[in-house]
Structure 1
Amino acid sequence: MNFPGKTLFALALGASAVQAAEEMEEVIVTADFRQTELMRSAASVSVLGELQIEERGAQHLEDVLSAAPNVSWSTGASRSRFIQMRGVGDLEQYAEPKYYPAVGVVVDDLELGSAANAGMLFDVSQVEVLRGPQGTRYGASAHAGMVKINSNAPTDTFEAQLSGGAGNYGSYHYGAIISGPLGETVNGRISLQQNQGDGYMQNRALGRDDTNSYDEVTGRARLSWQPGANASYDFALFSFNSDNGYDAYSLDNDRYSWSDQPGDDAQDTLAFTVRGMWQLGNANTLQVVATHLDSDLYYSYDADWVSPELCARFTCSFGYDTAQEIFDRDRRQDTIDIRLLGGAETLVSGDLRYVLGFYANRNDEDLDYAYPSAWYGLYASASSYETERYALYGELEYGISDSLRFTGGMRVERFEDDYRDSNGVSEDNGENLYNGELSLQYSLSDNTFAYATLALASKPGGVNVAASSQYAFMSPAFQGFMRGNLRFEDETLFSRELGLKTRQLDNRLALRASLFYTTRDGAQLENWMWDEGAGLWIGYLDSNSDADAYGLELETTYDLGEAVQIFANVGWLETEVDTIRTFDLDAGDFVSKRDREQSKSPQYQYNVGVRALLPSGFSATVEAEGRDDSFYGYYHDGKLEAYDLVNASLSWSNGDLTVNLWGRNLGDEEYATHGLYFGADPRDEVGAFSNQSYYQLGAPRTYGLDLSWWL
């Protein structure tokens, strides 16, 4: 972005003038095999830098994702850790293992998978949002897209920062960073932060306002070593510990719950990454990346949502249950990625460069599940699930002319899984998956770049864990329906995309646009059924239907004078599922729904605003964001309503000290980020146990004051 005031904006938010100048000239995308300038990358990519993170007072990934077009997310937990892009993505997690969500989250080189609650933004340089399949590079880990969080690297000069902040709803955070040389060839960086808050719910049964609280500690340590001109090594340690509450739903769809056993959403993750890079002659580079992740994940909630206090105040049919649902996971992941990059540094006419690689991924998960209930007794099970992935991949780039180049990529994966549980269910599977990409890129001028890309991506099938485990307890009609759905098959996604990126009006206008059309064969769609006779919720992935989507993404900035910048990010999306068969709660029967929109697929999304430099070291930002309504499931026709929010910030800086006053959802609009549909309310006055829509609400008006001091 050629924004003359961007340097001062970055200074006002704690970045150095050098970093700001580099960002003003070019933003670098790191998620591909080779780093690429954003305006020359052959993909629909949003890059959210430190500026946007600081403007929003963002602590977690969920606080900034709404700035990227055609990106949605699901809560169903204390944090929004499941992401949908262009209508494709997982919605929630209960018993099902989800190592490979359709949209992956990566911290530097570490794949988080179902541990994505750890997507914290302290000491992060930028967030890259890549829409569309990234199959050649990431395989099944980025079936529909990828979010890559880049932490700040060690510096070769000493720097240190103290930061902190406080806001409404009892929120506060504090952290420290120290970075610099440890020797002539070694640099190091350590950062540590704690982030706490009471959450936005009040529990009437317990008289508490912190049952949906968050308490998160993030630690990062990075070491870079360059012993010579032809070799470099990087070591990273990542730690995340959270002790969050989970009490997010209300019988009246407000911020007052009646649960007497509020849940927990706790995570203890320790991971490390080792990267080595060696220069082999003038034209070849060998890269090796190895990672290890160990996560303890504990998730529970009050399954009946009520308490004796509620039924003492109101008349409750059948009294109340005391049910909880508890998921206690121990997950381990090991990966290694070895690749050789070679060929020319440039891609003018006749130049050729390539990538050859091998990838391996092993995941093991042990789950202890419990459902203690006064009405149904205690149901408990234990399971283990192991998966292995091995892949060979390659990419070839060729300069057809000085302005036109071709890229072709291929990835072949072998996927194997093995599931066992205490109910006697035993399943194993093996299949080959194929990912590929063909792309033409054309430089119309120094300021205008266009591309056309075809991409094929595959996502493995597997066992429907909960349904298989519950099968023996289901009513006969549900057993008959689920007999052919205890496994789901692999999904194939085919994407066609056209893109244009340009700078105009003396570089004051920057525009990125993409058109896409996607088809999904055997679309893996999350579905639920309520078996009243057995008292079971049956969750499963249905792969019996096809789906398609098409739409547009547009991102633009315009420098209006020397001190004002206008920005606009817009997404348009049309989706359709051919046919999905499910049990309709209101009809009390199995039905087929045809030509339905995909879940979490609003037809429009937008993020627009203005940044302005003010006198005496001040700067300000005002932005609006919103989206259309969207379905949140297939077993009903409930929707999340459309909404529009206003955010703003006012910052002051003298270069070393930064003060940032921020606010989100300043209009205090009530909106939902996730939904459920069933009979939960026992009160006679509302029609006891009648089917209703229940919503997990997004954050209300929040505001805070952040300070950072560079030493």
Structure 2
Amino acid sequence: MSTFSRFTFSLAGLGVLPAVAIAQAQAPTQVEPDRVEEVIVTADFRAADLMRAPASISVLGELEMAERGARHLEDVLSAAPNVSWSAGASRSRFLQVRGVGDLEQYAEPKYYPSVGVVVDDLELGSAASAGMLFDAAQVEVLRGPQGTRYGAAAHAGMVRIETNAPGDDFEAQLHGGVGNYGSYHAGLVLSGPLGPTLGARLAVQQNTGDGYVDNAFSGEDDTAGYDEFTGRARLRWQPTDNASYELSGLRFDSDNGYDAFTLDNSRTSWADQPGSDAQEIDAVTARGDWLLGGGRSLQAIASWLDGDQLYAYDADWVSPPVCELATCSYGFDTAQERFDRGREQGTLELRLLGGADTLGAGDLRYVIGLYANHNDETLDYAYPSAWYGLYESSSGYDTERYAVYGQLEYGFSERLSLKAGLRLERFSDDYADSNGVATDSDDDLLDAEISLQYEFDDNTFLYATTALASKPGSVNVAASSQFDFMSPGFQDFMQDKLRFDSEQLVNYEIGLKTRQWNGRLDLRTALFYVTRDNAQLENWMWDADAGLWVGYLDSGSDAENYGLELEGSLALTQQLEVYGSLGLLETEVDTITTFDLDRNAFVTKDGRDQAKSPAYQYNLGLRAALPLGLTASLEVEGRDDSYFGYYHDGQLEGYDLVNASLGWSGRSLRVTLWGRNLGDEDYAVHGLYFGADPRDDFGAWSNQSYYQLGAPRTYGVDLVWTL
């Protein structure tokens, strides 16, 4: 079936798909007329009701996290339509929204992803492995550019983790749980007032597991394991009714293994040098809010982040026994590629908000802001190889971003309003490495948005938005460093690709949100069309004569994306609710030239689907409130096939997964039995294509597709004890 046929078939299926939803804060209870709990979105300048926010947004609450036994963002994002992710690490920290986003990271800095991840007011950037969900209140997934608010850091979308704030009452919780594959976690939450105007919250958790790979060479079962510590602290001071201050800190320390790829795409590795995906992050955020009178308020936010990351993997995936059990052409290499990074980031933001609290006829409100970001990254690279010897390099990459922005909202009537935003950003970078490559650049970026919003009545909301987003160009770090070592033909090809241009993305979107049947039905839908000028597409090529893999961003083509997103929920009875989401997506790259491994030549591909862009994604579930304080949920999720690169035609196969949970809540104890991928389906979250297998019986060094598998059947029990 063609992609277009699948697309139209899925559209036809909307007639029988129950209204579905993501944003639910509680299990189904008795629904009373005109009494529906609002879900508040906090990622914009002003908090807003989800059903009246002029954007396609999914909100995943504490219930969804508990039902899935979620520890990290990767455990819940599949519930959001048209959101994909790539692993290439111990955690799936590379996100794509509507087909736009990063796929992996090696030598490139990647501090500036197309889909940003924010924890409260802290921009994580390339540190998205720290997107842990312990003590999180909700996860907000904003699809489409959020340029006025976040600039190029939210070029295609934004994911925001909102953690629980200090409360007015004392609170103490003990969290714990165990699961298969040697997993366990333990956590502590303390929160409450320290005085009449001072409150604090402390949350710490240790999350550990063996992972899902057995290493046959070493006999160990945890070479792809997890060892993650998360600590958050929030201190809130409100000395007067007109002033409040908050100081928050984050400590994340992970020592995860990375042993993911095998020659037979199984969960049994023969690597003799399993890798590592270790990360340490210390961050501090300070915020002040002041009410100035006359409907005006002032906000100031400053943050500092210091991080270290060691990413390493066994470059050949094999060990001596492999070539003792089978004949290997040329033996095998012994190498571990290592990327040792250090990063410091400082941000400062100041904004003035003014105008009416709500928009009636003739009402006006505005936001004016200034933003600054400074980021320094160092990389020490090493490739000790038995075949090629020791290759080492070091580099430094510094960036600065300065922006001024504004947003204006105006009410034409009680029902019709306009929102318009503009952001001007100055980007500069400076790169130098030990190979003698040095470059610097400046870029002026423009982000803009205009949106019309109309409320048919208190229950139905319509919006239409056009948004322009810009992402800066820069140097292709790996290609520039390797250029002198390339063979002549590859030098000729890469000569004009050592840098990539800035990308301009325009998103056209129309959405409808409605709540009907006395609040029993929630429905949110959006249609979108996206154009990408100078689309920044990740690509690879293999220079066999030089023995080099060269990765780079190619901005030589335009692209387009369009599709539909549907979310909603329906309370069938007072105790039974159906919920879910559907995303449909079509993408196309006008033309891209790459080195085809199978043809051993440069080829041009026209009309190619963008990578990690499945034509459909869905999530459909049933949630029930049972007697004796029990709740239960059953859901199925899935997605279509998708390409995982441009230098070949390999695809990640589509899949369908079944998840379920059973919960019980008492006066002070909550117990959740959860399971994911109950059918134990093998599915891939990342892919590579090249010649890696040295064994003659398996077609030595022939090009094959290799996959990093997602989690198998996992299950466990979680407990929360409120003291």
Query: TM-score normalised to the size of structure 1?
Result: 0.97
Q: Which runs of 5+ in 2 are unaligned?
A: 1-18
Aligned letter for 1:169?
Y
> Which of 144, 164, 176 does residue 188 from structure 2 map onto?
176
What's the counterpart of residue 257 of structure 2?
A: 245
Moved over 3 A (4+): 6-11, 21-24
Distance 2:28 2:268 in 1: 40
Does structure 2 retain, via aligned residues, the 8 Å contact 1:2–1:25?
Answer: no
Q: Does 1:303 align with 2:315?
A: yes
Aligned letter for 1:47?
V
> Which of 77, 80, 87 does residue 99 from structure 2 map onto?
87
Aligned letter for 1:197?
G
Does structure 2 retain, via aligned residues, the 8 Å contact 1:2–1:507?
Answer: no
Q: Does 1:573 align with 2:585?
A: yes
> Which of 240, 260, 266 does residue 228 from structure 1 map onto?
240
Once the two structures are superposed, the pairs formed by residues 317-332 of structure 1 within 5 Å of their partners are: 317-332=329-344
Measured at CA, do residues 435 and 414 of structure 1 come closer, stay the same or move farther in structure 2, by a change above 3 Å?
Answer: same
What's the counterpart of residue 99 of structure 1?
A: 111
What's the counterpart of residue 432 of structure 1?
A: 444
Q: Does 1:399 align with 2:386?
A: no
Structure 1 residue 24: Cα displacement: 5.1
> Which of 599, 617, 624 does residue 612 from structure 1 map onto?
624
Aligned letter for 1:55?
E
What's the counterpart of residue 7 of structure 2?
A: none
> Which of 67, 79, 90 does residue 79 from structure 2 map onto?
67
Structure 1 residue 655: Cα displacement: 2.9
Aligned letter for 2:647?
Y
What's the counterpart of residue 288 of structure 2?
A: 276
What's the counterpart of residue 677 of structure 2?
A: 665
Identity %: 67
Distance 1:245 1:8 in 2: 36
What's the counterpart of residue 602 of structure 2?
A: 590
Structure 1 residue 314: Cα displacement: 1.1
What's the counterpart of residue 13 of structure 2?
A: none
Once the two structures are superposed, the pairs formed by residues 444-483 of structure 1 within 5 Å of their partners are: 444-483=456-495
Does structure 1 retain, via aligned residues, the 8 Å contact 2:20–2:580?
Answer: no
Once the two structures are superposed, the pairs formed by residues 505-520 of structure 1 within 5 Å of their partners are: 505-520=517-532
Q: Does 1:146 align with 2:164?
A: no
Aligned letter for 2:452?
L
Structure 1 residue 568: Cα displacement: 2.1
Measured at CA, do residues 585 and 106 of structure 1 come closer, stay the same or move farther in structure 2, by a change above 3 Å?
Answer: same
Q: Does 1:208 align with 2:226?
A: no
Does structure 1 retain, via aligned residues, the 8 Å contact 2:463–2:511?
Answer: yes
What do the CA deviations read for 1:528-548 (whole angstroms, capped 9, x no partner)? 001111111000000000000
Distance 1:208 1:479 in 2: 43
Q: CA RMSD in A?
A: 1.5
Q: Does 1:560 align with 2:566?
A: no
Distance 1:144 1:617 in 2: 41
Does structure 1 retain, via aligned residues, the 8 Å contact 2:662–2:672?
Answer: yes
Distance 2:537 2:217 in 1: 36
> Which of 192, 205, 220 does residue 193 from structure 1 map onto?
205
Please give the secondary structure, in 2, of the residue aligned with 1:471. Answer: helix
Structure 1 residue 9: Cα displacement: 3.2
Aligned letter for 1:503?
R
Please give the secondary structure, in 2, of the residue aligned with 1:544. Answer: coil
Once the two structures are superposed, the pairs formed by residues 409-424 of structure 1 within 5 Å of their partners are: 409-424=421-436
Please give the secondary structure, in 2, of the residue aligned with 1:633. Answer: coil
Please give the secondary structure, in 2, of the residue aligned with 1:117. Answer: helix
What's the counterpart of residue 645 of structure 2?
A: 633
Distance 1:343 1:562 in 2: 41
Q: Does 1:111 align with 2:129?
A: no
Distance 1:206 1:264 in 2: 15
Measured at CA, do residues 84 and 170 of structure 1 come closer, stay the same or move farther in structure 2, by a change above 3 Å?
Answer: same
What do the CA deviations read for 1:380-425 (whole angstroms, capped 9, x no partner)? 1000000000000000000011100001100000000000000000
Distance 1:23 1:632 in 2: 46
Aligned letter for 2:212?
Y
Distance 1:22 1:252 in 2: 57
Does structure 2 retain, via aligned residues, the 8 Å contact 1:449–1:501?
Answer: yes
* Number of residue-to-residue matches in the alignment: 701
Query: TM-score normalised to the size of structure 2?
Result: 0.96
Aligned letter for 2:624?
A
Distance 2:385 2:342 in 1: 24
Distance 2:166 2:638 in 1: 37
Q: Does 1:390 align with 2:408?
A: no
Distance 2:431 2:25 in 1: 54
Once the two structures are superposed, the pairs formed by residues 127-166 of structure 1 within 5 Å of their partners are: 127-166=139-178
Does structure 2 retain, via aligned residues, the 8 Å contact 1:459–1:490?
Answer: yes
Q: Does 1:624 align with 2:636?
A: yes
Please give the secondary structure, in 2, of the residue aligned with 1:483. Answer: helix
Structure 1 residue 98: Cα displacement: 1.0
Please give the secondary structure, in 1, of the residue aligned with 2:113. Answer: coil
Does structure 2 retain, via aligned residues, the 8 Å contact 1:205–1:310?
Answer: no
What do the CA deviations read for 1:5-41 (whole angstroms, capped 9, x no partner)? x887399xxxxx9xxx999510000000100000000
Distance 1:203 1:55 in 2: 31
Structure 1 residue 323: Cα displacement: 1.2
> Which of 547, 553, 569 does residue 541 from structure 1 map onto?
553
Distance 2:250 2:38 in 1: 29
Aligned letter for 2:52?
R
Distance 1:317 1:8 in 2: 60
Aligned letter for 1:547?
A
Measured at CA, do residues 315 and 22 of structure 1 come closer, stay the same or move farther in structure 2, by a change above 3 Å?
Answer: farther
Aligned letter for 1:706?
D
Does structure 2 retain, via aligned residues, the 8 Å contact 1:2–1:559?
Answer: no
Distance 1:694 1:291 in 2: 40
What do the CA deviations read for 1:601-628 (whole angstroms, capped 9, x no partner)? 0000000010001111111000000000
Does structure 1 retain, via aligned residues, the 8 Å contact 2:80–2:581?
Answer: yes
Structure 1 residue 507: Cα displacement: 1.4
Does structure 1 retain, via aligned residues, the 8 Å contact 2:28–2:575?
Answer: no
Aligned letter for 2:605?
K
Please give the secondary structure, in 1, of the residue aligned with 2:566. Answer: strand
Please give the secondary structure, in 2, of the residue aligned with 1:545. Answer: coil
Structure 1 residue 282: Cα displacement: 2.6
What do the CA deviations read for 1:645-669 (whole angstroms, capped 9, x no partner)? 0000000111310111000000000
> Which of 286, 299, 302 does residue 298 from structure 2 map onto?
286
What's the counterpart of residue 3 of structure 2?
A: none
What's the counterpart of residue 14 of structure 1?
A: none
What's the counterpart of residue 372 of structure 1?
A: 384
Does structure 2 retain, via aligned residues, the 8 Å contact 1:647–1:664?
Answer: yes
What's the counterpart of residue 43 of structure 1?
A: 55
> Which of 314, 328, 339 does residue 326 from structure 2 map onto?
314
Does structure 1 retain, via aligned residues, the 8 Å contact 2:82–2:617?
Answer: yes
What's the counterpart of residue 711 of structure 2?
A: 699
Aligned letter for 1:108?
D
> Which of 219, 229, 243 does residue 217 from structure 1 map onto?
229
What do the CA deviations read for 1:665-702 (whole angstroms, capped 9, x no partner)? 00000100100000000000010000000000000000
Distance 2:650 2:512 in 1: 37
